[in-house]
Structure 1
Amino acid sequence: MAEEELFNFTAYCLEVEEGSQSICDLWAHVDATVSVQGGIITGVDTFFLLFAGALVFMMQSGFAMLCAGSVRQKNVKNIMLKNLLDACGGALGFYTIGFAFAYGGQVDDKSFIGTGNFFLTDITENQEYAGWFFQFAFAATAATIVAGTVAERCKMSAYLCYSVFLTGFVYPVIAHSIWATGGFLTAFRTGYDDHFRGMGVIDFAGSGVVHMTGGTTALIAAVVLGPRRGRFYDEDGNPLETPHQFQAHSVALQILGTFILWFGWYGFNPGSALVISSEGSAQVAALCAATTTIAAATGCVTAMFTDTIIDMMATGEASYDLTMAMNGALGGLVAITAGCSVVQPYAALIIGMIGGWVYLGFSKLLIKLRIDDAVDAVPVHFANGMWGVIAVGFFSDPKLQAIAGYNITSSGLFYGGNGDLFICQIVAVAWIVAWVTVVMTPFFFLLKLAGMFRVDPLEEEVGLDISHHRGAAYDLTGPNKDDVEELMEVRASKHGKVEVPKEVVQAADDANDAFVTEEVAA
C-alpha cells in the first residue's frame, strides 16, 4: 500500500470527540513503544560497532607484540614507537582527509573518490561517529602491516611520510572503490543498475581492501629499501650461499601478539556486519565468527606440518617451527576475511588450508628472490589477501550472499555461478595491485633519492634503539661483581665458608661487559 493511503491516526486523534478517546490512547502508547524500540535498536547497533572497532584497534597491540618479538633486541624501541604512531597518524590522517576520500559525498554518487565530509564536518548523527571510529581502525591496520616488513632499517622520517600518505590517500581510494556505495567495483551501489558485470566485488571485511593494500605497499617498500645488512650479502656485497637468519629475540612476545591479533579478528570480521539488531545481521556475525576460527586453526596446522614434512624429507629429523604455526594462523585469518560472511564452514576449512600453503610458499619465494621481510608480513597479508579475494569466486554461497546483503546476479563457481563473480574478484586483485604499485613505487623511490628512507649502516649495525631512541629497550645491567663477592664474604663470616657460584660471577661479568659496550656505542 502506498504511504499516502495509510490511515493518519495523528490527524484523527486531533479531531476525535472526547467520548471516543480510547483508540487514541492506545495509539499514543503504541507510538511511544515504537519510538523507544527504535532508540534501543540504535543503541544496540552503535554499541556493537564501537565494541567491534575497539577489538580491531586492539589488534594494534597484537602487531606491536608480534613485531617486537620478531626483531632483534637492539631494535625493539624503534618498532614499538612506529606501531604507536601508526595509531596516532592513522587517526589524524583519517579524520582530516582519509574518511572523506573513502566515504564522503552523496550516497548514490558514482565517483572515483569521495568528495565531502572533510574533518567530519558533515556528520549529523552520533552513530556516524561510531562508523568513523570503526573505519579508522581498519585504515590504521593497513599502515601497521608495512612497519613490520621494513623494521630494523627504515628511518623514522620515511615511516611517518608513508604512514600518513597510505592512510590519508592510498587506502581510502581502494576503500571507496569497493566498499562505498559510489565505488566503481562495489556490490552495494544504490540507485544504479550498472554494477561492474552486474554485481561488483565481494570483500566483506577486507582481504583485499585492507590486507592486500598494506601487503602490496610492504612488498614495494622492501624491494626499494633493500635487505638488512648481513641477511643475503656479506660485508663486500657478495651473495651468501645460505641467507643468514636473524633470530627473533622473544618468542613469548611473538605468540602473545599472534593470540591478540586472532582475538581482534573477531571484531574485524563479525564486526563488518556493522549492525546486530536484526535476525539477518546476527546470523551474518555468528557465521563470520565460526568461519574465522576454522580458517585460522586450519592455516596454522597446515603451514606447520607441511614445513615439518619438507624438513624431515631433507634432514630425516622432525622439527616443529613456531613461526610457521603463528604465521600460518594469521595467513588463514587474512584469507577468510573477504568471504567470511558468504562461505560455509567446510569452505572456510579449505580456504584456511590453502592459506597455510600460500604463506609457506610465498615466504620461501621471497627468500629466493632475496627480498627481506623482517616479520613475514608480505606472505601473510599480500599473498593471502590475494588468495582470500579469489577464493570468494569459488566458494561464495548464493543463499549466504542474500543474507549478507549482496543483491547480485552470480555466485561462486562451485555453486553454479556463471563466472561473473570470479571475474569481479580477479579484477579487484588487479586493481589493488595496480593502484598501490603506481602510486607507492615512485613515492618510495623519491624518499630513497632524498636520503630519507634508510638509516646509516653504522646506525643499523648498532641498533636503532641506541642510535635513534636514547638507549636500549631493556636494562641488562646485572649486579656489580665486587658487590656479589662482598655479599658472599659477609654470609661466609656468619655461616662458614660459602662458595660463590661460578655462574653468578660470570653472569655479573657478562651483564656489565654488555652494559659497558652499549654505553660506549651510545
Structure 2
Amino acid sequence: MPPFDQAAKRIFGRVGSWAGLACIPLAIGIVVTWSMAAHAQDELTAADVQTVLDNIWVLIAAFLVIFMNAGFAMVETGFCRQKNAVNILTKNLLVFALATLSFWFIGFSLMFGGLAGNGWIGWGGIFLGGPAENYGLETGTGLTKDTFFLFQAAFAGTAATIVSGAVAERVKFLDFVIFSVLLTAIAYPITGHWLWGGGWLAEIGFHDFAGSTIVHSVGGWAALMGAALLGPRMGKYTSEGQVSALPGHNLSIATLGCLILWLGWFGFNPGSQLAADLAVPYIAVTTNIAAAAGGMAATLTSWTLSGKPDLSMSINGILAGLVGVTAGCYVVGYAGAFWIGLVAGVIVVFSVGFFDSIKIDDPVGATSVHLVCGIWGTLAVGLFANGNNFTQAGAEDAIVGLFYGGGVGQLGAQILGVLSIGLFTVVATTIFWMVLKNTLGIRVSPEEEMKGLDIGEHGMEAYSGFLKDTTDMTGVM
C-alpha cells in the first residue's frame, strides 16, 4: 500500500472512531427522549387531545376568516373604478390591523368580559388582561384565550370591512380609519355581548350562530348610515332621478374575490362551532348549499329582469346566500339551507334596485348583501330551524322554527334581536359619522373625487402609466 493510502487510512480510521464515539450520547438521547414521550403518552388523556384539536381547528378557521379580507378587497376593487383602486386596497388591508388593535385594547373586553359585566355590556380588563375565566373560558380545557381572541378579532375586522364598500370612491381615508376603530372598539362589541357574551339576547333565546346579524347586519347598518350621510358619487344620479351606471373596472378580480370569500366562509361558519367535532362538516355542507342556491337565484333573477345574466349579481347572490345561512347553518336542514340561500339570492337583486331608487349609492351592494340578507337569514332561523339537527353548544333545548311546528316563539326572539341590534347600531354609528362630518368632514373634495382618490388621498396609482400608454396608442392602427 502506498504511503499516502496508509496515511489516509490512519486519519479516516481515527475520524471514524471518534464519530462512533460521538454517536453514543446521541443514541442515549434518542432512547431517553423516546422513553419520556412514551411515558407522557401514557398520561395523555382524550380530553387533552380534544383540547389541542379544538385549538388547532379554530386557529385554522381564524386564518381563513382573516384571508377573507383579500376577498373583500378584490370584490370592492373590481366593482369600483380604477382611479380609486389604491384607496380601496389600502382600506381593506389596514382594516384588519385596526380591528386587531382596537379589539385587543378594549373591544374584546366589552364583548366577552364577565368579571364586572352585565347583560348589556361586558368588562374583563383592557389589553386582553386577566385570566381566561374573565372571558367565559376555562384554563386548561377548551379554547385558550389567545385562540378565542384571534378568531373573534377576525370577525370584528369583517364587520368593519363591510363598511368600506358602501362608502367607496368618496370617503376620506382618515375618517374611515377613525370610524373603523370606533366600530370595532365600541359599537360592535356591545351588541355582540348581548348574545355571544351571554347577555340579555342570549337569555331570551335569540339565535345567531355565526353572525348574520351580530357581524353582517351590524356592518350593513354602519355602511348604510355612512352612505346616506356621504351622499351619492358624482354622476351617479341625474337631475331627473335616473340611475347612471358607474361600472367597475375589473370583474375578473371581483370574481376571484368572491371565490376567496366563499372559501373563507368555511372558516367563518364551521369555525364558529369553536370545537373540532362532527358538527363542523355538517355546517360546511349547509353553508355551501346556501351559497350555491344564492348564486343561481340571483343569476336567474337578473337574467329574467334584464334579459342577460349579470356577473356582478351572480357574485352578490353567492355572498347573499352565505350571509343568509350564517345565522342558522347549525340548526337548519339541507332543505332549509337551500331555501334560505335561494330567497337571499332573489332579495339581493331587488334590494340593489331599491337602494338606487331612494338614491343611496352603494358601489358594491354591501347594504343589500350584508344588511338585508343578514336580516333575512336571522329571521329565517325562526322559520326553518328543524330541531332534529345539531343544537348550539351549551343550548338546553333544540331550536325549532315555525315551519317545523315550533310556533312563533323563536321567530319572535329573532325579530326582537334584529330590531334591538339594528336600533343600537343605527344610533351609535350615526353619532360617529355625524361627529366626523361636523369636525373633519367625511367627503373628499369634488376635485379629488373627479381625479380619483388614489392621487388625491395617496399620491399614487394602482396602474401606473396605464392611462398614459392608452392615450399614446390612440389613432395607432
* TM-score > 0.5, shorter chain as reference: yes
Give 1:478 deviation, angstroms: 8.8
1:93-172 map, 5 Å: 93-106=102-115, 110-124=118-132, 127-172=144-189
Using the alignment, how far apart are the partners of 1:117 and 1:129 within structure 2? Answer: 15
Deviations 1:91-149 (A, max 9, x none): 10000000000001249x64311111320111455821000000000000000000111
- Candidates 157, 180, 184, aligned match of 2:200: 184
Match of 2:53 in 1: 44
Match of 1:215 in 2: 220
1:299-338 map, 5 Å: 299-312=294-307, 319-338=308-327
Match of 1:82 in 2: 91
Match of 2:246 in 1: 246
- Candidates 70, 77, 80, aligned match of 1:61: 70
Using the alignment, how far apart are the partners of 1:456 and 1:231 within structure 2? Answer: 16
Match of 2:335 in 1: 346
Compared CA separation, residues 324 and 418, structure 1 to 2 (3 A): same
Match of 1:227 in 2: 232
Q: For 1:400, what is the secondary structure of its paired residue? A: coil
Conserved 8 A contact 1:212-1:385 = yes
Give 1:32 deviation, angstroms: 6.7
1:371-520 map, 5 Å: 371-402=360-391, 404-408=393-397, 411-476=400-465, 508-510=472-474
TM-score by length of structure 2 reads 0.86
Using the alignment, how far apart are the partners of 1:471 and 1:329 within structure 2? Answer: 33
Give 1:450 deviation, angstroms: 1.9
Match of 2:344 in 1: 355
Using the alignment, how far apart are the partners of 2:314 and 2:447 within structure 1? Answer: 34
Conserved 8 A contact 1:296-1:330 = yes
Give 1:344 deviation, angstroms: 0.3
Using the alignment, how far apart are the partners of 1:360 and 1:344 within structure 2? Answer: 25
Compared CA separation, residues 479 and 430, structure 1 to 2 (3 A): closer
Give 1:438 deviation, angstroms: 1.2
Task: Give 1:89's aligned amino acid.
Answer: L
Give 1:241 deviation, angstroms: 4.5
Q: For 1:249, what is the secondary structure of its paired residue? A: coil
Using the alignment, how far apart are the partners of 1:297 and 1:404 within structure 2? Answer: 27
Conserved 8 A contact 2:388-2:398 = no
Q: For 1:455, what is the secondary structure of its paired residue? A: coil
Give 1:405 deviation, angstroms: 4.0
Compared CA separation, residues 477 and 424, structure 1 to 2 (3 A): closer
Deviations 1:343-389 (A, max 9, x none): 00011110011001110111110010011001100000000000000
Task: Give 2:292's aligned amino acid.
Answer: A
Mark the runs of 5 or more structure 2 residues left unpaired by the alignment.
1-37, 133-138
Conserved 8 A contact 2:391-2:398 = no
Compared CA separation, residues 256 and 424, structure 1 to 2 (3 A): same
Compared CA separation, residues 70 and 479, structure 1 to 2 (3 A): closer
Match of 2:287 in 1: 292
Task: Give 1:92's aligned amino acid.
Answer: L
Q: For 2:244, what is the secondary structure of its paired residue? A: coil
Compared CA separation, residues 470 and 398, structure 1 to 2 (3 A): same
Give 1:510 deviation, angstroms: 4.1
Conserved 8 A contact 1:99-1:132 = yes
Give 1:294 deviation, angstroms: 0.6
Conserved 8 A contact 1:342-1:404 = no
Task: Give 2:397's aligned amino acid.
Answer: I
Using the alignment, how far apart are the partners of 1:446 and 1:121 within structure 2? Answer: 31
Match of 1:516 in 2: none
Conserved 8 A contact 1:478-1:511 = no
Compared CA separation, residues 45 and 256, structure 1 to 2 (3 A): same
Task: Give 1:40's aligned amino acid.
Answer: V
Q: For 1:474, what is the secondary structure of its paired residue? A: coil
Q: For 2:176, what is the secondary structure of its paired residue? A: helix
Q: Does 1:369 align with 2:358?
A: yes
Compared CA separation, residues 123 and 452, structure 1 to 2 (3 A): farther
Compared CA separation, residues 459 and 427, structure 1 to 2 (3 A): same
Deviations 1:417-465 (A, max 9, x none): 1321111000011011100111111221222222420001101100011
Using the alignment, how far apart are the partners of 1:306 and 1:297 within structure 2? Answer: 14
Give 1:404 deviation, angstroms: 4.6
RMSD after superposition: 2.2
TM-score by length of structure 1 reads 0.79
Q: For 2:200, what is the secondary structure of its paired residue? A: coil
Deviations 1:15-36 (A, max 9, x none): xxxxxxxxxxxxxx99974534
Q: For 1:398, what is the secondary structure of its paired residue? A: coil
Match of 2:268 in 1: 268
Deviations 1:469-514 (A, max 9, x none): 112111235999xxxxxxxxxxxxxxxxxxxxxxxxx8744499xx
Match of 1:71 in 2: 80
Deviations 1:317-358 (A, max 9, x none): xx1100010000000000000000000001111001100111
Q: For 2:327, what is the secondary structure of its paired residue? A: coil
